[in-house]
Amino acid sequence: MNKPEIILLGVNHKTAPVEVREKLALKEEETPPLQLFSEIPGCRETVFLSTCNRVEVIACADTPELMGHIKEFWFKRAGLDEAAVRDAFYECRGTEAVKHLFRVASSLDSMIVGEPQILGQLKDAYRAAAEAGSAGLILNRLLHRAFSVAKRVRTETRIASQAVSISYAAVELARKIFGDLKGKNALLVGAGEMAELAAQHLKANGVTGLAVANRTLQRAVDLARDLGGTAVSLEELDQELVRADIVISSTGAPGVVITADQVRSIMRPRRHRLLFFIDIAVPRDIDPEVNSIENVFLYDIDELKEVVEENRAEREKEAMKAERMVEEEVLKFVSWIDSLDIVPVIREIMARGEQIRKQELAKSSKCLNDLSKKQKKAVEALTRSIVNKLLHHPVTSIKQCRDMQNSDEFIAAACRLFNIEGAGHEEQRSGKAQDSQDGHAEQENVT
């Protein structure tokens, strides 16, 4: 009785350069990758995950040779020499494959630990497999369990609560100073990439007004249009400083752009409202003396980097908690996989006992006709109790055999003893058929 084996193989940002990853993504193929892989003999179920940082195939194998077949087919379609990418490729089977997928879903294997995008990408990959009918009993259960593990990690740890990018760290600091960013105004001085990213984060956190001041006005106009803000010239800087709550500066100027005297002069018109400066420029755009002015806060790029490193260290601590959760969830899932041979056997044994009980009662039906309704119920209960007690020890032994080294032999012997050979295979086939019907219903939960 062959147990289904989960296999996972692929490359990621740590093992292969982008030139290899983009070829393995099979983007230029006319036939969808899922359909291509499902045509490989022995490939019972398939999910294909392709992102900018990883390309992986998750499959349920009927034969131990499937891993080799997938690699041979995949390299050929991608136009890659296996020898050239052998060191970049990772291959996982069974428990190792389950653990890898759970770590990916929980963002423990990401370039930035705790980032949320990978879970959405994995859900998209599963949705495509469900729609194509290539995810059956095993992978449906595996992927939904992966989503649950990821949710548990995010709920029970703080793995995603600390900013680990310069732009997002700036926004987190702004939130600490103002509490709530809704209705606040931001000013971009210069149009650097990090400042633009920070502005996007600010908008996502409720900042409503956004002005962009730049030496080249056209660049300010273009960026303001992209961010849904307004463009101003550097000559209008003082007026915008009066209105702004948050100022992000990233010009390429050789010296100071915003002086301490300039900030002092605008505080009275501002009625001394809090003003937060983020200086991402090198050399610095804002006079460090600005930080000595009451109700004014200034952070430069070095201070932001310190925040990022502290947060990164904190995420690593949280990641250790998440790893323990993953280990626990892997054991649960592997236990379910191991039960696939056991559950149908137990079910068949119990059904066989019930069938024999009913047959024997039917033979004695003439004698039982003279009994009262209460007496008939007593006979039913008595015969059912006898069958259950006779089967209790065999069933208990089968349940316990999953921890034995020779569990497959034990289950096979039980099947022969009760004349129910192949029960496990029938269960898997019926389960797969049921899952193919329920694929669309399952994917409604992938949100």
Residue 406 lies in a domain: no
Write out pLDDT tens, residues 155-175.
Answer: 999 887 665 677 778 888 888
Q: Are residues 182 and 147 in the same domain?
A: no
Q: Rounded distance, CA 418 to CA 355, Å?
A: 13
Structural domains of the chain, count: 2
Looking only at the bridges linking them, the beta strands covering 246-249 and 209-213 are unpaired
β-partners of residue 9 are 57, 91
CATH of the domain at 286: 3.40.50.720
Q: Are residues 141 and 67 in the same domain?
A: yes
Write out pLDDT tens, residues 391-412.
Answer: 888 888 877 766 555 666 777 7
Residue 92's pLDDT is: 95
Residue 146 lies in a domain: yes
Residue 365 lies in a domain: no
CATH of the domain at 36: 3.30.460.30
Residue 441's pLDDT is: 41
Residue 306's pLDDT is: 83
Residue 285's pLDDT is: 93
* Active-site residue, 60 included: no
Q: Are residues 139 and 181 in the same domain?
A: no
Angle at 372 (CA atoms; ends 366, 377), nearest 5 degrees: 90
Residue 116 lies in a domain: yes
Residues 6+ away with beta carbon under 8 Å from 141: 333, 336
Concatenating the DSSP letter of every residue in 104-117 gives HHTTSSSSSTT-SH
When pLDDT is averaged across residues 53-75 and rounded to a whole number, the result is 91
Q: Which of 253, 188, 178 is nearest to 224 (CA)?
A: 188
Instruction: Choose the final residue of a domain: 307, 342, 373.
Output: 307
Q: Are residues 26 and 148 in the same domain?
A: yes
Question: What tokens were used for 366?
Answer: 């003439």
Write out pLDDT tens, residues 144-154.
Answer: 999 999 999 99
β-partners of residue 299 are 278
Helices marked H in 364-405: 365-368, 373-400
Dihedral sign for Cα atoms in the order 163, 167, 169, 171: negative
Residue 96's pLDDT is: 96
Q: Are residues 63 and 172 in the same domain?
A: no
For the cut 80, the answer to whether the pLDDT of residue 414 exceeds it is no
Q: Which of 383, 399, 390 is nearest to 347 (CA)?
A: 399
Residue 179's pLDDT is: 87
Q: Rounded distance, CA 341 to CA 362, Å?
A: 32
Q: Are residues 151 and 27 in the same domain?
A: yes
Residues 6+ away with beta carbon under 8 Å from 121: 49, 51
β-partners of residue 45 are 60
Angle at 282 (CA atoms; ends 13, 176), nearest 5 degrees: 75
Give me the catalytic one of 52, 92, 401, 415. Answer: 52
pLDDT-based confidence at 421, cuts 50/70/90?
low
Average pLDDT, the chain: 85
Residue 161's pLDDT is: 67
For the cut 80, the answer to whether the pLDDT of residue 445 exceeds it is no
- Whether the CB-CB separation of 47 and 435 falls below 8 Å is answered with no
Residue 361 lies in a domain: no
DSSP letter assigned to residue 258:
B
Q: Are residues 133 and 211 in the same domain?
A: no
Show the beta-strand stretches assigned E in 167-305: 185-189, 209-213, 230-232, 246-249, 275-279, 296-300
Residue 428 lies in a domain: no
Residue 354 lies in a domain: no
Angle at 303 (CA atoms; ends 154, 273), nearest 5 degrees: 90
Concatenating the DSSP letter of every residue in 33-74 gives HHHHHHTSTTEEEEEEEE-SSEEEEEEEESSTTHHHHHHHHH
pTM of the model: 0.61
When pLDDT is averaged across residues 88-115 and rounded to a whole number, the result is 91
Residue 332 backbone phi and psi in degrees, to 5? -65, -45
When pLDDT is averaged across residues 77-83 and rounded to a whole number, the result is 89
Q: Are residues 135 and 234 in the same domain?
A: no
Maximum average pLDDT range among 139-148, 275-284, 400-409, 421-430: 139-148
Q: Are residues 129 and 178 in the same domain?
A: no
Q: Are residues 275 and 148 in the same domain?
A: no
Question: What tokens were used for 438?
Answer: 């329920």
Residue 220 lies in a domain: yes
Q: Which residue has the higher pLDDT, 141 or 447?
A: 141
Residue 70's pLDDT is: 94
Domain that residue 244 falls in: 166-307
Amino acid identity, residue 271? R
For the cut 70, the answer to whether the pLDDT of residue 87 exceeds it is yes
Write out pLDDT tens, residues 216-237.
Answer: 888 889 989 988 999 998 889 9
Instruction: Choose the final residue of a domain: 96, 124, 156.
Output: 156
Q: Are residues 57 and 127 in the same domain?
A: yes
Instruction: Choose the final residue of a domain: 307, 342, 377.
Output: 307
Q: Are residues 144 and 283 in the same domain?
A: no
Residue 434's pLDDT is: 42
Long-range contacts of 30-36 (CB under 8 A, 24+ apart): 32/128, 32/132, 34/128, 34/129, 34/132, 34/134, 35/132, 35/134, 36/73, 36/77
